[in-house]
Amino acid sequence: MKKILFIGAGSMAEALINGWVEQEVVHGQNIYITNRSNRDRLIELNQKYGVNILDETKKIGEMDIIILAMKPKDAIAAMENIRPFISGHTAILSVLAGIEIRTIEEGLGSRAIARVMPNTSATIGMSASGISFNEFVDDSQKAIYLEMLEAIGIVIEVEEDKLHAVTALSGSGPAYLYYLLEAWESVGTEFGLSKEVVRQLMVQTIAGSAAMLKLGKEEPNVLRRKVTSPGGTTEAGIKALEKNHFNEAIYACIKSAESKSRELAKVVTHK
Ligand SMILES: NC(=O)C1=CN([C@@H]2O[C@H](COP(=O)(O)OP(=O)(O)OC[C@H]3O[C@@H](n4cnc5c(N)ncnc54)[C@H](OP(=O)(O)O)[C@@H]3O)[C@@H](O)[C@H]2O)C=CC1
Ligand SMILES: O=C(O)[C@@H]1CCC=N1
């Protein structure tokens, strides 16, 4: 069984660990974790998932896959710390938003590097992930990554440059939906419904709509029209969305996130 080391033990690392351990793709005993300073966090994950806390840097050389899971701003320092200990056979999987493969090649040397953009729904096996590889990742290694990521959701290979868009859409996507739910709960309670009732109604509405779309039988605009009775409530609601620049707001949201991802790529200067 391959040994996997997470450099960074935050939200995304936990989502992946939880997904892989739950789906029995990787056993906790084959996962190692480390972070910058928060020892309590490492102990928490060790107790929850049976993962190992990396106690000696020399063990880095025994790892088959190292997953870069720190914030993008911490990537250079983290790579400098681990570089002396990595062995030639170790493959790198980065979940860092923005940071390009060539930056990781500069930080860790020319070796097999995959860049993936998952989302936190990996926790329950429902991630939507985009992935790109450098030329050192061979077919058998690709197959391993795809199998690992398919176990926790769907994964789609894209050109590396398109990972900025994937990040803006599905990487950040869960947050947009949670934000939408917060707004629905706020307005729903103004009408005297309890927050719990609004949540039950709207979570089911999201799940039902997603399931209809997943069938792939009808386009979103066709499904939308079926809900929209002429002169009815939906029409009134959609008109209000249009009046309040719904499309502009969505475009601005995704474009800002995409630009931010490109900006994160630039925080690191290339040699
Ligand atoms: N959260 C999300 O939904 C998603 C996040 N990502 C990407 O995942 C990465 C991690 O995000 P997230 O989990 O939210 O971040 P968190 O802030 O939750 O976790 C960051 C972790 O990195 C550790 N860390 C910082 N510097 C170093 C270092 N030099 N060496 C080792 N560990 C270090 C921190 O340790 P300590 O606490 O000790 O400082 C902490 O454990 C980001 O690059 C983000 O772009 C990708 C997809 C989705
Ligand atoms: O907000 C972020 O930067 C990360 C990347 C995608 C989701 N969270």
- For the CA of 130, the nearest ligand: 1
Look at the chain and count its residues: 271
Pocket of ligand 1 contains residue 8 by CB under 6 Å: yes
d(CA 57, CA 63): 11
Domains and CATH numbers, the chain: 4-159 (3.40.50.720), 173-261 (1.10.3730.10)
| Rounded distance from Cα 232 to ligand 2 centre (Å) | 38
Pocket of ligand 1 contains residue 78 by CB under 6 Å: yes
Pocket of ligand 2 contains residue 167 by CB under 6 Å: yes
Q: If 0-12 CB within 10 Å is exposed, 13-18 middle and 19+ buried, where does residue 126 land?
A: middle
The C-alpha angle 42, 45, 46, rounded to 5 degrees, equals 80
- For the CA of 11, the nearest ligand: 1
| Residue 79 is labelled as binding a ligand | no
| Rounded distance from Cα 268 to ligand 1 centre (Å) | 17
Q: What is the pTM assigned to this prediction?
A: 0.95
d(CA 100, CA 115): 8
| Rounded distance from Cα 247 to ligand 1 centre (Å) | 32
Name the pairing type of β-strands 113-117 and 127-133. Answer: antiparallel
For CA atoms 181, 185, 188, 193, give the dihedral sign: positive
Read off φ and ψ for residue 6, nearest 5 degrees: -95, 125
Nearest CA owner, ligand 2 atom 3: 97
Per-residue pLDDT in tens (0 to 9) along the chain, 271 residues: 799 999 999 999 999 999 999 999 999 999 999 999 999 999 999 999 999 999 999 999 999 999 999 999 999 999 999 999 999 999 999 999 999 999 999 999 999 999 999 999 999 999 999 999 999 999 999 999 999 999 999 999 999 999 999 999 999 999 999 999 999 999 999 999 999 999 999 999 999 999 999 999 999 999 999 999 999 999 999 999 999 999 999 999 999 999 999 999 987 654 4
d(CA 76, CA 85): 15
Alpha-helical (H) ranges within the chain are 11-22, 39-49, 75-82, 101-108, 139-150, 163-166, 173-190, 195-215, 220-227, 233-243, 246-266
4 contacts 30 by C-beta, under 8 angstroms: yes
Copy the structure tokens of residue 70. Answer: 């720190």
pLDDT at 271: 47
pLDDT at 268: 65
- Name 80's Cβ contacts closer than 8 Å, sequence gap at least 6: 107
Q: Which atom of ligand 1 is nearest to the CA of 36?
A: 38
- The one-letter amino acid at 30: N
Complex-level ipTM: 0.98
Bridge partners of 128, per DSSP, are: 154
